[in-house]
Amino acid sequence: MTIQWFPGHMTRARRQIEEKLKLIDLAIELLDARVPLSSRNPMIDQILKDKPRIILLNKQDLADPKITSEWVAYFREQGLDALPIDANSGAGVKEIVPRSRELLTAKIEAQRARGVNPRAIRGLIVGIPNVGKSTLINRLAGRKVAITGDKPGVTKGQQWIKTAEGLDLLDTPGILWPKFEDQKVGVRLAATGAIRDEVLHVQDVVFYTLKYLGLHYAKELNERYLLSINPDQLDVDNPDELVAIMEGIGRKRGCLVSGGRVDLEKASQLFLRDLRDGKLGRVSLESPLDLG
């Protein structure tokens, strides 16, 4: 299965970001806490170069808190400040401006030494589609100034937004990259909603996702769908076992057609909706341990 989605506006977005970099004090890189590494666009490092950066792990309310803590430690080992947040509820958001000022301490002190009153911090928010950039901006601004949506690709242009905390934000469209070198990255992004479902083979995405959840979150699957998955006995390379799990999910969710058969396509769509809405509980789809 090959997953790619790189609309033309993403190419324009990269060019626009590069043009605005000289105006920016720091970058705020927003990641999905459920898939922090997969939701990091490798092009961002090329674009931002040595620009000061803070990493925000958004949607922490949907991610496994233990795994999120491991990701925070991972990024800090890379020399990057990482902060878990939930832009919807506002959890952790108040820490963003103080953390940003800490990153820019030397620059702010240099301005004061020259007798210059430091201006508002200019921050660039970057991230992949549907990671919550517009929701975060609205939360920081204290009002609805950015368009939000539950589908990727809502923001199409750039806009400056002032906040009451002395932080001016440049919103940018979410950008993916032209080719996923590891197709598991594409599957994880598809599962979490970063890629439009219309360009996906939904059942394939679900089967790939079930392999991981069956091994790491069997308890959550069993409780939600009244299954009896034993991760120690699960053969994730056996497609018949994955189909059996999906059939169990379909029966629990009422996805039956004539003859009592399960509509696997409908069951797959409902499963993805449950996953994205947090109905399975707090689960992460990758961990730093997977890197080993």
Q: Tokens in use for 284?
A: 């992460």
Give the tens place of pLDDT for each residue, 127-176: 888 899 889 988 988 877 765 444 434 444 567 888 867 889 887 777 76
| Confidence (pLDDT) at 151 | 41
Could you give the angle at the alpha carbon of 283 between the alpha carbons of 279 and 284, nearest 5°? 140
**pTM, to two decimals:** 0.87
Give the tens place of pLDDT for each residue, 214-272: 999 999 999 999 999 999 999 999 999 999 999 999 999 999 998 889 999 999 999 99
Which 8-state DSSP code applies to residue 93?
A: G
Cα radius of gyration (the chain) = 21
Those residues with Cβ within 8 angstroms of residue 250's Cβ, 6 or more apart along the chain or in another chain: 256, 262, 263, 264, 266, 267
Spell out the domain ranges in the chain. Answer: 8-171, 201-285
- Can you tell me the mean pLDDT for 29-56? 91
CATH T-level assignment (fold) for domain 201-285 = Conserved Hypothetical Protein Ylqf; Chain: A; domain 2 (1.10.1580)
**CATH number, span 8-171:** 3.40.50.300
| Confidence (pLDDT) at 129 | 81
Closest of 148, 190, 170 to residue 39, by C-alpha? 190
pLDDT at 112 over 70: yes
CA 178 to chain centre: 18
Q: Return the biggest CA–CA distance within the chain.
A: 80
Closest of 210, 185, 140 to residue 290, by C-alpha? 185
* Cβ-count burial 192-210 (b if 16+ within 10 Å, e if not): bbbbeeeebebbebbbbbb
